[in-house]
Structure 1
Amino acid sequence: MKKLAIAAVAGSALLTGIVTASAADMAVRAAPMAMAPAPFSWTGFYIGANIGGAWTPDNGGSDFGPLFPPFAVLPPAVAIPTIIPGQLDVLLGGGRRSGVIGGGQIGYNWQVNQFVLGFEADAVGTGLNGTSGTASRTIGAPIFAVPVTQTVTVDFGHIEWMATFRGRAGFAVDRALFYVTGGAAVAEIGGSTTTLVNGPGIGLPPAGTYVATNGGHTTRWGWTVGGGIEWAFSQNWSVAGEYRHTDFGNRATTFDIPSGLAAAPIFFTGTSTQRLTVDQATARLNYRFNWGGPVVARY
């Protein structure tokens, strides 16, 4: 009887242990498993705005040709009537110019593993002046007791707006994207070319400044290349810094040299060639749609 009681107690303890272990095991298996966070993805459409600065390097050309009209000096300025001939000279172009630019962009990214491919189009308005060309001469003794200076200045207009259509390729490190970009560029070159001749104030032409203006706009195509860094500070917003170099080739500009004479107001019509290149650095803000899509994996 005593052995039977001991066996019953032992069996009850064993059964209690099995039940307790099974319940604990079920509790462990029933606990929800933590989900790993989805990897960040750059895939999706985006729109944005940009602002920055642009500059044209000192890359102007030079042109040799007639730049100054002849004029006559009469008594009593000189003892006898004197003709000062026109002059051949070099119109030196160039000069670094800078201005503010701003506009917007739209594009699409597609991420494969850590590589990001995409395309982007942007357009900006600019306050960027074009290059200019100048030449001058001074005539003094023995003709003039006080030297007389004439100056010719040709302004080659300004870039009113630029637009680009580019591909992009980058490498993503989570929320940071390092990329290069390049493609086609187009710009509207506006304004007018103005030639100034300062009359000597003695004889012909009379004293004064004579202006000949050549107006007109031109649209030019070129290419652009650059790169940047973009950082996503939220699921839908990112900021970027970008630098690009754009080349619109050579532009030939026609200008008139005025004579200051009513009978023949134009002394000479010339052509000057300038190279149109623009460097720019911009800060960019983008809003992305459908961001957070899956990262496509390729093995």
Structure 2
Amino acid sequence: MISPAARDALATWLDQQRALHGAAENTVTAYRGDVADFLAFMTSHKAQTQGLGALAQITISDMRAWMARTRGPNVGPRSMARKLSAVKAFYRWLAEREGFEPTAVLSTRAPKFTKKLPRPLAVDAARAMIDCVELQSRHPWVAARDVAVLTLLWGCGLRISEALGLKGADAPLPDALRITGKGGKERVVPVLPAARAAVEDYLRACPYPREDTAPLFRAVRGGALGPRAISQVMSQARMQLGLPASATPHAMRHSFATHLLDAGGDLRAIQELLGHASLSTTQAYTAVDTARLLEVYNRAHPKAG
């Protein structure tokens, strides 16, 4: 079992992740599980409860044993890298607090894995997706609803959870929406006239009254619309259009970023619109190549003129 001192240290670290770094609850839960599993393994591996003193004595060999034990059919390189990242973050904090050298843990390398780049839709494909979705439902108001949701994903770069999290009080949509994204990070997103009009069309057709505290987008029976329903609608549409399985709701957000960049948008500004903490994440979203980045750089850098 994990020693009381180690358990208390983990709880304190998690509290700091919430308070100082704004970590989302899902992130905190993942951290707790990953680090607790690590501490439990070390207790078993060394056949003794891992107090704070023992934690300072962990070796590279111990780390290799943990990784060998953790890797398996259900834990691939990406998941292993995430677990190691959580353990390193905890150890970096613990070493600073307790005054020991964490080199053995921090020098452990994560397994290599190939990042899967998002696949944005072409402009014509994104338009065709929205047009096809509009024709699918037997209920005109549901068709208008689905068009409005996809237009927000593509036209404003919202995550599906952000679009479906809008409330009745958010309508009619303003010129700019204040969105709270991952980790509680706020951003301001301009609303295109087409997105505003699509939402208005939906509200006029919706049989349920708009209520300030109720979800803006309603399911057929009046409850909150879930992401699965939108995924299913897009799945049917992409089969009709012959689009790949990667044409998902999230791909509409990828497309927002790529199409803005293709039209001459600034990568840093697009980062702000998407709510990314890292510019490299935005670069992955837009699937831009080095040549495109150099083109933007050469056009925008003061020395380029």
TM-score interval, smaller chain: under 0.3
The TM-score with structure 2 as length reference comes to 0.19
Write 1 or 2 for the structure with the bigger share of strand: 1
Structure with the higher fraction of residues in helix conformation: 2
CA radius of gyration, larger in: 1
